[in-house]
Structures are given as C-alpha cells and as structure tokens.
Amino acid sequence: MQIIQNYINNQLQNPIDNQWIDNYNPSKGEVYGKIPNSNQKDVEQAVKAAKKAFPIWSNTSIEERSEMLIKIAQLIEQNFDEFVKAESQDNGKPITLAQKVDIPRAISNIKFFAKAITQYNSKSHESVHTNSINYTLRKPIGIVGCISPWNLPLYLFTWKIAPALAAGNCVVAKPSEVTPMTAYLLSKICIEAGLPAGVLNIIHGLGQTTGQAIVEHPQIKAISFTGGTKTGEHIARTAAPMFKKLSLELGGKNPNLIFADCDYEKMLSVTLKSSFANQGQICLCGSRIFVEESIYEKFKTDFIERTKKLKVGNPADENTNLGALVSQQHLDKVYEYIQNAPNQNAKILAGGNKVKVAGFENGYYLEPTVIEVNSNRCALNQEEIFGPVVTIMPFKTEKEALEMANDVRYGLSATVWTSDLNRTMRLSNELEAGIVWVNTWLNRDLRTPFGGMKDSGVGREGGFDALNFFTEPKNVCIQYD
C-alpha cells in the first residue's frame, strides 16, 4: 500500500480527521494505495500557512523565485524515471506517453514560467495633453487555489502552480483524487528544493469535500480549474458571490475537418493520434471527424485498418498504444455511449468492445472505436465522451463542414487538414474554437493563449495570459507640472 500525505507548511502529514480514500491502479483494477480525503480543517491549515508565507514569498526577487522553480524542475529531471512510472501506474496511460509527453511537459511548464516571469512587464500610457502618465503595477493576488484533473496529472498540475508561484502567489492546490501520485512526489521534491514553508500546499481528496472547501474558502482569492464542464459550472456558481477570479478550462468536442487536398499520409497518422492518444482522454482530442465526400470511402478504409492495428495492453509494455482508461466509473460512462450508438442510427466500424488483457483481467481496457454517424446532432457528436471513441461523417462543401464544426456547445480546439491557404484563412477565422490547428495537432508553444470559447471555459492560460491571471493589475496615474 502506498500512502499519500498532504503537503502543508512544508510538512507531509495525514489528514486531520484521518479520512482516507482508495487509490486504484487502472491497469489492474486494484487498490494500491490510500490518499487523504481532506476537509475544511486541512484546507484551513493550508490557508494559514499560505497567509503567513505570502508577505515573504511575494517580496522575494523575481530571480530568487525563478531559481527556485528551476531547482524544482531539475529535481524532477533527476527523478525522471520514478515520475514516469508513477504517472503511468496511477493513470493507466502507456509508459511511453508519460516518458515522451507528461513528465517532460511538466518539467517544461515549470522552466517556462521560471523564465517567463523574468520577462514579464506591464504597460504605461502617457497623455501629454494632460501632463500625466499612467502605469500598471502587476501584484500577486495572494492565496490562490489550483484544481487539476486526472487525464494529464502532473502536466496540468504544474501548468497551474508554476505561473501562480512565479507571479509571487502562495498556492493551495489539489490534484485529482483519481491520480494523486505525481503531485505527492512533487511535494517531496519541494521539500528537497527548500521551497519556503507555506508557499505551496498540496492537499488531497475528493472534489466535493477537498475541492469544494478550497473553492469556498473566503481567503482564496482566485481559482484556476481544469476539469469537466459540469464541475466548472458548479465552481463558478460557488465562487461568484465571493467575486473570485476564475480561470476555467473545461470540456471539448473538437472537430477534425479533413479536405481532399490535404497531405493524406500525414493527416492519417496524426488523426490516429488526435483520436486515440492517452486513450482519447485529452480535452483537445479531435473526436468528431468530418471528411470531404470525395475521399471519405478511402479514409474510412484506411483509418479503420490503422485503428485495428493499435495495441491495447499493459501500460508498462513499450509496445502498447492504448493503456487502461482511468477508472471503472469512466470506463462505464464511455462504454455506455458505444452501447447506445445503434439507437442513434450510428454504426460501429471498428472496436466497441472492452478488452481483457492477459494477466490484467480486471483492468479498464477498451478497444479504440470508430463510429459512423449520419447527423452531427446525435449525442455521440454533441456530448463529450472523453475516451477512445471517435465519430466519422462525410461532408460535401466547406460551408457544411464549418456549420457542423460550430454546431456544438463546446469551443476548445479544431483541426483543419488542407493545402489551400485561402481555405485555411477562412476557416481559422470562422471556427468557434480557442485553438485552431492547421495540418498539425497538439503542437503547443507555451507562449500562446490556451483555452476555449463557449462551454469550454472562461479565460486563457499559457504565456503572459497565465501571469496576467495570477496577478492583480493596479493602475497608477501621476500628473506632473
């Protein structure tokens, strides 16, 4: 049994009321650890520690904060294999993905914001006719809350805490209770790095207990959240009467528009990734595939053939393409969508079944699944499934493709495959999405604004947008003679 503890005031400690929850290994469907189910008392302790630390941390020089973050990133690098193994075991994702994406990106997040803060600046506005100058101070907010999900655990956890800390805030953070392990390892790293007590507090527990206590705490002035749209809605409702600053990165139902003039081979291999990477559990996955009629049949044949070749198996095996889904509950949710497909006039073309992996019979495995739909209005195309399930459908014209792409409540990302520059320009203007990828997918530059429109969220993360979120602007106006 691996016991995870809270990290409060630079100490690893048990939850005050001694309440625990099970931590599962999804590849085996077995409990392998216990994590605290913290409550208001633990959050209160963390807030007290953060409050005490804030005047000191917010007054350290930018260089000091930057160096501390770099040190933390380097310590993760030194313990790289341990982090990779832990992430794969906790989440069920292929170890190769944790190795190539999750942990390297967590390290990059921290290093990026360690450097970004040294370049962060504010504006000034001179009005000669009134003999005055305005300038903007950017002050850390104080104590901020960071709540992250289970799909990219350390990657999204660091994406929030790094800019918050770099900007001089003290943080009360909660990783998902489904994947708490790498955040726990990070707390040990912070102790080793000598991060001052109370600057970062990592509290574990359920959303409705620990998460709720963070959102409700009156001294936590801003909440950065990534997770489901429903949860985001609930958090917004709770936080609004306290006028908390909110950054919400929520669900997606992203269109992938494939035109006949694209680089077909590149499109095919990237589309396979954008459909099934991380078992389809990435908010940016292109889960609605629309293909121009003239290449639809060819695409259908090739895509199904490639999908069937993907290997579902033990995440620790280097040849595995898809590991386990994150939990039994999530597997049930995704599987229900597949079972309901025939009721929606939809046809399962590949996959659709749970998988029994030899030696891991109780794990949460599902075949990569391709479903042909005949309307964009069906639940399969309108609701976020968040698993290894994509739909495909032909379109006749660019206009029709655009209409279907936008006809959904979400607006996180969109992918376009075409070699026509004019079409690229038209579609990137018209698509209702926070991110539009053309002839690429998940190609991330950390300086860019990241986030969604419509029900995919509020606000943007990344680059100076994240530092803007984690600071309070104060305008100073001086008149001179």
Cβ atoms of residues 107 and 87 within 8 Å: no
Strand duo 220-226 + 143-147: pairing: parallel
420-433 burial, b at 16+ Cβ within 10 Å, e below that, comes to eeebbeebeebbbb
Q: Is 212 in the site for ligand TXE (CB under 6 A)?
A: yes
From the CB of 222, what's the least distance to ligand TXE, in Å? 14
Amino acid at 411: G
From the CB of 61, what's the least distance to ligand TXE, in Å? 33
From the CB of 119, what's the least distance to ligand TXE, in Å? 28
From the CB of 251, what's the least distance to ligand TXE, in Å? 5
Rounded to whole angstroms, the Cα distance separating 376 from 391 reads 9
From the CB of 182, what's the least distance to ligand TXE, in Å? 13
The interface region with ligand TXE, picked from 6-14, 45-53, 129-137, 221-229 by CB under 6 A, is: 221-229
From the CB of 374, what's the least distance to ligand TXE, in Å? 24
Residue 170 appears among annotated catalytic residues: no
User: Per residue, what are the HEC states of 292-324?
Assistant: EHHHHHHHHHHHHHHHHHCCECCCCCCCCCECC
State both tokens at 250: 């929520």
Q: Is 250 in the site for ligand TXE (CB under 6 A)?
A: yes
Query: Which residue is nearest to ligand TXE, using beta carbons?
Result: 207
Short-list 256, 301, 236, 195, CA closest to 441: 256
Catalytic residue, candidates 190, 262, 283, 285: 283
Q: Is 452 in the site for ligand TXE (CB under 6 A)?
A: no
Q: Is 227 in the site for ligand TXE (CB under 6 A)?
A: yes
State both tokens at 236: 């917004």
Among 35, 50, 98, 147, binds ligand TXE (CB under 6 A): 147
Q: Is 384 in the site for ligand TXE (CB under 6 A)?
A: yes
Cβ atoms of residues 307 and 360 within 8 Å: no
The interface region with ligand TXE, picked from 21-29, 52-60, 162-170, 246-254 by CB under 6 A, is: 246-254
Short-list 58, 72, 144, 139, CA closest to 110: 72
**Within 79-219, where are the H helices?**
80-91, 95-97, 103-119, 153-166, 181-193, 212-216
Among 365, 386, 395, 441, binds ligand TXE (CB under 6 A): 386
Q: Which of residues 154-173 bind ligand TXE (CB under 6 A)?
A: none
Residue 67 appears among annotated catalytic residues: no
Q: Which of residues 66-125 bind ligand TXE (CB under 6 A)?
A: none
Q: Which residue reads 């625990």 in tokens?
A: 20
The interface region with ligand TXE, picked from 210-218, 258-266, 303-311, 461-469 by CB under 6 A, is: 210-218
Among 42, 87, 90, 177, binds ligand TXE (CB under 6 A): 177
Rounded to whole angstroms, the Cα distance separating 158 from 156 reads 5
Short-list 23, 47, 19, CA closest to 34: 23
Rounded to whole angstroms, the Cα distance separating 234 from 479 reads 45
Q: Catalytic positions, please?
A: 249, 283
Q: Which positions lie near ligand TXE, rule CB under 6 A?
A: 147-151, 174, 176-177, 206-208, 211-212, 215, 226-228, 231, 234-235, 249-251, 283, 384, 386
